[in-house]
Amino acid sequence: MRRRNAIKLAAGAFIGGGACVTAMTTAFKTEAQAATPPKKIDFKESKTVWQYHKLNPKKVAKIAYEGYDVGSCMFGVFESIMAELGEQYGEPYASFPSQMMKYGHSGVGGSGTICGTLNGAGAIIGLFVEDKKIQDALMGELFYWYENTEFPIYKPAKPVMDFTPPTSVAHSILCHASTTLWGKASGFRIKSKERKERCRCLTADVAKKTAVLLNKYINNEFVANEHDNETVRGCMTCHGEEGKLGNTAGKMTCTSCHTPSAAHKVFGDAHYKFMDKK
């Protein structure tokens, strides 16, 4: 935010001085980073005892929905896959201390950071996939889906309550933003049992998607970078690790927290057209 204010001030200065505008727009006329092309990822068997086996995503979703009441979101996603592997294959899955994952509730200890469902999915991916780049690719696909999908989608056969949650798009992988936007879309309070049912169904959705991705991966069918986050790519052209401003890192959709400043209008290039969306 302080950075943003600094840029705003700078933009004000540009607008006040024509020569400066010309110099700066030239200096910043960077080609937007190209999208990373989709790439088939080859399955690499884990060298540990922790092997993933193909699971039925619908069954996993059901276990996750039911598991939410035992340990909420992170636990629900993690345990859905671990419990099903334990059921089918016994050890070492059966004795994994999944209860530890309860800590991730409400964005880690209630703090509102990463949605617990995604933290649970990350932990499962971290356990079964050794290669860091492949881990990141699987999480990247999942997180993109989370940011852009209207959920919850899951319809329980035996719902905990007689309520079908309205849907919303989270535009963010943070619990704080995801729940706030749902509250705004639905009119329900964060503390309500209706919001909990929304998160219960979302736990099932993320567990299902995680199983689908891992099934694809071990089946040699996972394609990384299928989706391009144009917003992040555009911002990171200048603000990312290799950009001219080079001052930040991350893959979260920038515009969930940051509003493009006046500076970007000065640059007014087609590359920055996404800046006008909000």
225: left (phi over 0), alpha (psi -120 to 50) or beta: left
Kindly report the number of other CB atoms within 10 A of residue 91's CB atom: 9
> Measured from the CB atom, is 221 or 241 closer to its own copies?
241
Hey, which bits of 121-248 come out as E strands?
150-151, 168-169, 223-224
Nearest CA to 256 among 234, 225, 278?
Answer: 278
Tell me the C-alpha distance between 9 and 188, whole Å: 39
* 275 lies in the binding site for its own copies (CB under 8 A): no
* 256 lies in the binding site for its own copies (CB under 8 A): yes
> Measured from the CB atom, is 56 or 247 closer to its own copies?
247
Site string for its own copies, 13-32 (x = CB under 8 A): --------------------
Number of residues counted as binding its own copies (CB under 8 A): 61
* 189 lies in the binding site for its own copies (CB under 8 A): yes
C-alpha 278: how far from chain center: 20
Q: Which residue has the tokens 């400066």?
A: 20
> Measured from the CB atom, is 3 or 54 closer to its own copies?
3
Tell which one of 25, 33, 164, 248 touches its own copies (CB under 8 A). 248
Is the separation of the CB atoms in 83 and 67 below 8 Å?
yes
Site string for its own copies, 76-95 (x = CB under 8 A): --------------------
> Measured from the CB atom, is 62 or 236 closer to its own copies?
236
Nearest CA to 29 among 264, 230, 241, 262?
Answer: 264
Where on the chain is the footprint of its own copies (CB under 8 A)?
1-3, 48, 50, 97, 99-114, 118-119, 122-123, 125-127, 130, 132, 135-136, 139-140, 143, 173-176, 179-180, 183-184, 189-191, 241-242, 246-252, 255-259
